[in-house]
Amino acid sequence: LASELAYFLRGRARQNLKVLVLYGIFLLTLILAYATLFRFLMWNLEGREYSFIAGIYWVITVMTTLGFGDITFQSDPGYIFAAIVTISGMIFLLIILPFGLISLFLAPWIEQRLRYHPTYELPPQTRGHILIFGIDPITRAFIQKLKARDLLFVVVTANYEQALHLEEQEGFKVVYGSATDARVLTGLRVAAARYVIANLSDPENTNICLTIRSLCQTPIVALVDDPEHADLLRLAGAHQVIPLTRILGRYLATRSTTRGALAHVLDSFGSLQIAEIPVHGTPFAGQTLKEAQIRQKTGLSVIGLWERGTFTIPSGDSLLGEHALVMFAGTRAQLSALEKFTGEAAEDELIFILGHGRIGCAAATFLDRRPIPYILVDHHESPTCQEHVVVLGDATGRHTLKKAGIDRASGVIVTTNDDSTNIFLTLTSRHLHPHIRIVARANNEENVEQLYTAGADFVVSNASVGANILMNLLEHKASAFLAEGVAVFRRPLPAALAGKTIEQSRLRPLTGCSIVALDPPDGSETLVSPPPETRLVSGTTLLLIGGPEQEALFDQIYG
């Protein structure tokens, strides 16, 4: 019944409901007007007095052509009035109303029911498809990527309305059924599927894993809400478990600090570390990459530049602006060399974390480990976390942030679950403190731009981080957690490049990919961040970094 009701509350039906309400108001006005006129005529023509209720009663019995005949006019003008009321009753009440109800509501509804046949199973020969349980901004962003790559995906839902909506309005391939029903799973040809993405609640995901494992060995990627449930999900048979809240918390935390390079490691891959450092406050602010001489001084490779949320692969002439973030690849030793060179910045660092949900909590835990001091603000005590001290108060309130001491802060992490609040908090923090470092979380992709406009230095989008991780796992990328469209990938050295040095290979100008490490053919240790004069010997495996287009370009040129 709820789903039938929901039908009338959205889309066209909702519009029609408005028409119905307006029509109802019109009928009511008509009845009241007739009743008033009835009393006036009765009194003036026939000298009889009736109450207003009697008037309404008379109008309704006449309009519905019921006509009890207990109250009747005795004069010609009275008969004419009664006839008019009867005829208008027939038109407005007995013809237009039922006609409207049927054509505006019943017919479209029946038509939709007849037209939409949910799919209960996939054709037996279906192969290599990706099954997605649970639709949210993350899986939606992931689906965009799947579509761009022409991969076959199927969304599974046990909600009829959602199935109808996803299939009819969004054009997804949908199967209607319960994810934990073995018969449904068999009908989904789960054994022949390429991947299963489990994105429901932790208990439901666990249940899906167990049910699928009783049928086949198809790899399952599960997104876990509570990182403590990760082991349980693995035990239940998940192939990979993504603790997304923890990853997002870490991304927010590393990008909020102004500490030295080692505090900024985003990912590591063996001995290869990937770190991002804000240019602000470093000696190379305002210099070009060539002038900064980072490689000569530290051995690190600069592999990317973030400016207002756009990632570019820099050239020698790229300017390291105050607000940019530089992405490095190298060893820990090289990163500490950079730290010596830039100085172990800001001793008086203090970070404000606005919102102590799961992601805010993960960011705090990450800062605890550095340790970097922080202040958490939330209007509720956390139901799950007893570890952190929280300043209670509405962060959007006029004095909360000032009172909590935001003037002393060096950075703010804005991480509530509501984007309007996040935009508001970003604006307020920027207003109170023009030089503070603001890192904001976007729950919906559409709000990334607004958050930058509001003054954020860096925006972490839940959906794009989640979708990139899923895509990287699917494509077996070396480093799954390098989000936002940049990934590390391996390729054997193309024959055309054997014997050349890295500089002569012109790999970066041609493809945009950077070589971040080399695996020598003799099996000796990985060479991290090799200098440009390194000679590439055949049999070497390259570890490259780049976005999807750069990767495609590499394969196109050398594939």
The distance of closest approach from Cβ of residue 357 to ligand ADP in the complex, given in angstroms and rounded to an integer, is 2
Chain center to CA of 321 = 29
Q: Contact between 344 and ligand ADP (CB under 6 A)?
A: no
Q: Contact between 428 and ligand ADP (CB under 6 A)?
A: no
The distance of closest approach from Cβ of residue 390 to Zn ion in the complex, given in angstroms and rounded to an integer, is 8
Q: How far is CA 180 from CA 191, 235, 240, 348, in A?
A: 15, 17, 19, 52
Instruction: Report the partner that residue 379 touches, choosing among Zn ion, ligand ADP, none (CB closer than 5 to 8 A by kind).
Output: ligand ADP
Instruction: Report the partner that residue 394 touches, choosing among ligand ADP, Zn ion, none (CB closer than 5 to 8 A by kind).
Output: ligand ADP
Q: Contact between 395 and ligand ADP (CB under 6 A)?
A: yes
Interface pattern 303-342 for ligand ADP (x via CB under 6 A): ----------------------------------------
Q: Which of 127, 149, 340, 380 binds ligand ADP (CB under 6 A)?
A: 380
> 133: helix, coil or strand?
strand
Terminal Cα distance for the chain, rounded: 57
The residue among 188 and 364 lying less far from Zn ion, judged by its C-beta, is: 364
Give the Cα separation of 30 and 40 in Å (integer).
15
The set of residues, in sequence order, having a beta carbon less than 8 Å from that of 559 and lying 6+ positions away, is none
Q: Which of 359, 412, 442, 459 binds ligand ADP (CB under 6 A)?
A: 359
Q: Which of 178, 421, 526, 534 binds ligand ADP (CB under 6 A)?
A: 421
Pick the stretch among 70-78, 164-172, 229-237, 371-379 that binds ligand ADP (CB under 6 A): 371-379
Pick the stretch among 35-43, 235-243, 314-322, 355-363 that binds ligand ADP (CB under 6 A): 355-363
Q: Contact between 358 and ligand ADP (CB under 6 A)?
A: yes
- Give contact residues for Zn ion (rule: CB under 5 A): 361, 385, 388
Q: Contact between 202 and ligand ADP (CB under 6 A)?
A: no
Structure tokens that stand for 507 in this block: 């790999």
Pick the stretch among 51-59, 203-211, 306-314, 390-398 that binds ligand ADP (CB under 6 A): 390-398
Q: Parallel, antiparallel, or unpaired for β 514-519 and 437-442?
A: unpaired
Instruction: Report the partner that residue 385 touches, choosing among ligand ADP, Zn ion, none (CB closer than 5 to 8 A by kind).
Output: Zn ion
Strands (E), 338-433: 351-354, 374-378, 390-392, 411-414
Q: How far is CA 201 from CA 198, 205, 370, in A?
A: 9, 6, 31
Strands (E), 123-264: 130-133, 153-157, 174-176, 195-198, 220-223, 240-242
Instruction: Report the partner that residue 304 touches, choosing among ligand ADP, Zn ion, none (CB closer than 5 to 8 A by kind).
Output: none
Identity of the residue numbered 464: S
Identity of the residue numbered 390: V
The residue among 397 and 520 lying less far from ligand ADP, judged by its C-beta, is: 397
Instruction: Report the partner that residue 388 touches, choosing among Zn ion, ligand ADP, none (CB closer than 5 to 8 A by kind).
Output: Zn ion
Pick the stretch among 21-29, 81-89, 317-325, 416-424 that binds ligand ADP (CB under 6 A): 416-424
Q: Which of 231, 381, 394, 555 binds ligand ADP (CB under 6 A)?
A: 394
Query: How many positions of this chain bind ligand ADP (CB under 6 A)?
Result: 18
Structure tokens that stand for 2 in this block: 């709820």
Q: Which of 137, 227, 355, 546 binds ligand ADP (CB under 6 A)?
A: 355
The distance of closest approach from Cβ of residue 358 to ligand ADP in the complex, given in angstroms and rounded to an integer, is 3
- Indicate the helix (H) or strand (E) that contains 488: strand 487-492
Structure tokens that stand for 275 in this block: 């770190």
The distance of closest approach from Cβ of residue 65 to ligand ADP in the complex, given in angstroms and rounded to an integer, is 58
Q: Contact between 413 and ligand ADP (CB under 6 A)?
A: no
Q: Contact between 417 and ligand ADP (CB under 6 A)?
A: yes
Q: Which of 213, 295, 370, 379 binds ligand ADP (CB under 6 A)?
A: 379
Q: How far is CA 557 from CA 488, 490, 551, in A?
A: 18, 15, 10
Give the Cα separation of 545 and 314 in Å (integer).
13
Output the 3-class SS for 306-362: EECCEEECCCCCCECCCCCEEEEEECHHHHHHHHHHHCCCCCCCCEEEECCCHHHHH
Pick the stretch among 31-39, 85-93, 170-178, 376-384 that binds ligand ADP (CB under 6 A): 376-384
Q: What share of the chain is helix, strand, coil (3-state, %, to 5)?
A: 45, 20, 35
> 288: helix, coil or strand?
strand
Chain center to CA of 394 = 24
Site for ligand ADP, rule CB under 6 A: 355-360, 377-380, 394-396, 415-418, 421
